[in-house]
């Protein structure tokens, strides 16, 4: 007499690709296109807004420092010879030279960080970014020097132009590459977390993999 074998459950036979795996793959692809680009876009927008606000505040401060009329009894002659003002500062002693040169370097240094922030680029050529930012800083400093020709008490100094430009370049090199790398890593971690959550939600919504019963056949 034949006895049927015990009933067991096995996964449905595969026909090329598991339906659940296909659904999960589709979710990952959709989330990679939407949430990944959306995360980078939102981070760039926040960076641009914060950078623009700080840049405006910085330029207002620079304008107040460099373009306000000064009531002074006398002013020195404009310096159009490179390094003449720096040599004069060095002749007055190390402390005075360090203070004046530090002021020249620091005046536009924040510009070297805030201008790339306004651009909002997390992936760009470091050399290209440095060149663009330094050139913009040099043009800004040149504009200030030209405007100072019509401001009482302010003196045009070509050494200030050089120090301002060097300050922009140094600030950019010290802050921007490291900040961009950190923001890129943060955006990548957030994107990976969103993808993982999306896959888990899709798996929970679809339920377990469907199975079919198998009944043994008598010999």
> pLDDT tens string for the chain (219 positions)?
444 444 444 444 444 445 444 444 444 444 444 444 455 677 678 889 999 999 999 999 999 999 999 988 888 889 999 999 999 999 999 999 999 999 999 999 999 999 999 988 888 999 999 999 999 999 999 999 999 999 999 999 999 999 999 999 999 999 999 999 998 898 888 888 888 887 777 777 776 655 666 655 655
Token pair in block for residue 198: 């999306």
- Count of CB atoms within 10 A of residue 126's CB? 13
Domain edges within the chain: 19-204
For the packed helices 158-206 and 19-67, what is the interaxial angle rounded to 10 degrees?
A: 160
> For the whole model, what pTM was predicted?
0.72
Q: Is the dihedral of CA 137, 142, 145, 149 positive or negative?
A: negative
| Per-residue DSSP letter, 83 | T
Q: Kindly provide the residue ranges of all beta strands, DSSP E only, lying in the chain, ordered along the sequence.
A: 8-11, 211-214
pLDDT at 111: 97
Residue pair 182/3 in contact (Cβ under 8 Å)? The answer is no
CA dihedral 10, 14, 20, 21 (to 10 degrees): 130
pLDDT at 4: 46
């Amino acid at each position: 007499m034949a006895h049927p074998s015990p009933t067991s459950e096995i996964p449905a036979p595969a026909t090329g690709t598991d339906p659940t795996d296909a659904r999960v793959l589709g979710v990952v692809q959709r989330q990679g296109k939407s949430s990944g680009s959306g995360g980078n876009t939102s981070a760039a927008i926040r960076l641009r807004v914060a950078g623009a606000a700080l840049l405006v505040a910085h330029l207002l401060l620079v304008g107040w420092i460099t373009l306000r009329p000064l009531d002074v009894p006398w002013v020195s002659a404009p310096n159009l010879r490179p390094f003449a003002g720096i040599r004069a500062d060095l002749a007055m002693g190390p402390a005075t030279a360090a203070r004046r040169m530090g002021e020249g370097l620091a005046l536009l240094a924040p510009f070297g960080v805030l201008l790339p922030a306004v651009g909002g680029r997390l992936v760009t050529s470091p050399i290209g970014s440095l060149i663009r930012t330094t050139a913009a800083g040099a043009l800004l400093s040149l504009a200030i020097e030209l405007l100072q020709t019509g401001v009482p008490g302010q003196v045009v100094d070509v050494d200030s132009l050089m120090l301002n430009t060097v300050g922009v370049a140094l600030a950019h090199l010290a802050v921007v590459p490291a900040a961009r790398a950190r923001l890129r890593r943060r955006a990548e971690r957030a994107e990976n977390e969103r993808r993982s959550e999306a896959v888990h939600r899709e798996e929970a919504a679809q339920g377990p993999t469907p199975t079919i019963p198998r009944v043994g056949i008598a010999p």
